[in-house]
Amino acid sequence: MVWEEDEELREILRRKARSIAEESTRCCRGSWGEGVVELYYPEDLKGFIESCKVAFVFFYTPTCPYCKMLLPLYEETAMYYSGKAGFAKLNLARMPFISDAFNILGTPTIIIFVRGREAGRIMGLVDGEKLERVVERALSIAGCN
């Protein structure tokens, strides 16, 4: 075979195989960055959920006082677990139809997705310890700890 005789081609194939192996073990793919990403379109939500083995989506409305209290804690958690899980937020006032699609009855609601499927949700205001326990459990289930 040609690739057995060509050292340069063999090295290219080795690098590509290494890249594929690394990509498959990463818990979050794509360019979502650190911290919390704001989702503006349904396609963004779909892409975000599909690109992270563990994805947290914070559904909020700008006028919700509990959302305003929970957001800084959620952002801090996102920074701490950066690279292990994806964290996003979505303003339901901009996309109210999402509430129906995900059966969201009130805000704040955080939905946890593991491998693209809903694995749980947090409704209402929670403390940092509970949020951390939920994140750790989701990471453990997905093998991302």
Strand-strand pairing, 117-123 and 109-114: antiparallel
Out of 27, 28, 52, 67, pick the active-site residue: 67
CA gap 43, 62 in Å, rounded: 21
What are the CA-CA distances from residue 61 to residues 55, 100, 125 (Å)?
20, 15, 14
**What's the rounded Cα separation, in Å, for the pair 142 and 103?**
24
Question: What are the Cα distances from residue 127, in Å, to 73, 111, 120, 133?
Answer: 8, 16, 17, 10
Catalytic residue chosen out of the listed positions 27, 28, 52, 64: 64
Check if the beta carbon of residue 134 is closer than 8 Å to that of residue 120: yes
Active site residue 64: yes
Q: Annotated catalytic sites, by residue?
A: 64, 67
